[in-house]
Amino acid sequence: MAATRRPTLADVAREAGVSAKTVSRVLNGDGPAAEDTREKVLAAVTRLGFRLNPMARSVRLGAPDTAVGLVVPDLGNPFFGRVAGSVEETVRERGLTLLVGSSAEDPARERALADTFLGRRVSMLLVVPAAGAGHAGLREARAGGLPVVFLDRPGSGLAADSVLSDHRAGARDGVAHLIRHGHRRIGFVGDLPARLYTRRERLAGYRAALADAGLPCDRSLVAGAHDRHRAAAETARLLALADPPTALLAGNNVAALGVLAQLARSGRRDVALVAFDDLPLAELLDPPLTAVAQDPAALGREAARTGLARLDGDRGRARRITVPTRLIPRGSGELPGPAAATGRSGTAGRPGG
């Protein structure tokens, strides 16, 4: 037998033949109501088994002790700090307090944090999923009316709203930018194997841009690096190849730091670089860093707004909101490649800005 959904205030209003505002007035004691109207509403509540959600009420009234839970992979990463700041700014306007915890990319720790937040009766739960995490355990809370929103990465095993950057298009734009500046041997330095959705999408964007230009994807130019030191070592390996890359796409901000460090140690100012994720003070580097910038503030804001809309009664299907990325040319991604120098013609060799 299929599980029935939890009845809503709108269902009670329909059953009683009154407005949702009238139902709220009767149940919350927010104003006068005729006795026969009150009796119809209470009878409908009994028939449907409706239960008033005290968390949603406290949000609407701006109760200062109502909390929102946010799980991120790494509190030390400035990207997630900006996400959290934007969430806090958005929910604070509704009198909500933000609680934040780090999963350290550990699915078990993520689940424990989510359970802790649920135990504190948060009004909504926002999660940046850890690699390999499953979310079927949140189905009961989700079915009970708790808004659950995944951000930066989609969840697994749970139909819920998600707010994501357009990782594939961003990486594709970055590599296409390098191709327009005459590069044909373009390396990728980032997390491999790409367990994370974000990494998979960026690697797919890298490959798509090469295919668009009719260029082969040389596996020897794809380097796995999960931290800054590994990224530096892999950059050194790529540059030592018999036919080395003339340009690189760094798959994330941590990898970009390693690539930059190795290029500086090697004295290589001829290798073009585009980083996925912007870095603080990127414009002060020499050359200034060209980046595919996400909008962490928009991610946090949209996730919070989506959760608030659910609290306000939005019962529509789970939806995916995509936040576009932006290519910021500053200098490192505009260093000319061999094709630009030789004036080679053709689609792949067409100069661009």
* pLDDT tier for residue 9 given thresholds of 50, 70 and 90: confident
> 198-250, pLDDT tens digit by residue?
989 999 999 999 999 999 999 999 999 988 999 999 999 999 999 999 999 99
Q: Among all chains, which residue has been given the structure tokens 């995509």?
A: 322
* Reduced DSSP (H G I as helix, E B as strand, rest coil) percent helix, strand, coil of the chain, to 5: 45, 15, 40
Contact 175, 210 (CB under 8 A): yes
Predicted pLDDT at 300: 98
Contact 333, 274 (CB under 8 A): yes
Predicted pLDDT at 3: 46
Q: Of 8-12, 154-158, 252-256, which gets the smallest average pLDDT?
A: 8-12
**Region 267-276: what's the mean pLDDT?**
96
**Region 119-127: what's the mean pLDDT?**
91
Q: In sequence order, what are the residues at sequence separation of 6 or more whose Cβ sits closer than 8 angstroms to the Cβ of residue 186?
A: 175, 178, 179, 206, 210, 215, 221, 245, 246, 247, 248, 249
* pLDDT tier for residue 7 given thresholds of 50, 70 and 90: confident
**Region 163-177: what's the mean pLDDT?**
98
Please give the Cα distance from 251 to 274 (Å, whole number).
Answer: 9
Please give the Cα distance from 290 to 285 (Å, whole number).
Answer: 10
42-50 long-range contacts (CB < 8 A, ≥24 apart) are 43/16, 44/12, 44/15, 44/16, 45/12, 47/15, 48/7, 48/11, 48/12, 48/15, 49/7, 50/7, 50/8, 50/9, 50/11, 50/12
Please give the Cα distance from 123 to 67 (Å, whole number).
Answer: 6
pLDDT above 90: percentage of residues in the chain: 64
- Is the model's pLDDT at 64 over the cut of 50? no
Predicted pLDDT at 346: 42
Q: Of 19-33, 121-135, 138-152, which gets the smallest average pLDDT?
A: 19-33
What's the whole-number average pLDDT of the chain? 88
Predicted pLDDT at 2: 45
Predicted pLDDT at 194: 60
> 308-343, pLDDT tens digit by residue?
999 988 989 999 999 999 999 999 999 999 987 665
Predicted pLDDT at 63: 41
Please give the Cα distance from 207 to 211 (Å, whole number).
Answer: 6
Please give the Cα distance from 35 to 216 (Å, whole number).
Answer: 77
Contact 205, 170 (CB under 8 A): yes
Predicted pLDDT at 347: 44
Q: Of 16-25, 235-244, 262-271, which gets the smallest average pLDDT?
A: 16-25
Q: Measuring CA to CA, which residue among 139, 86, 137, 67 is closest to residue 311?
A: 67
Please give the Cα distance from 328 to 291 (Å, whole number).
Answer: 5
Predicted pLDDT at 143: 87
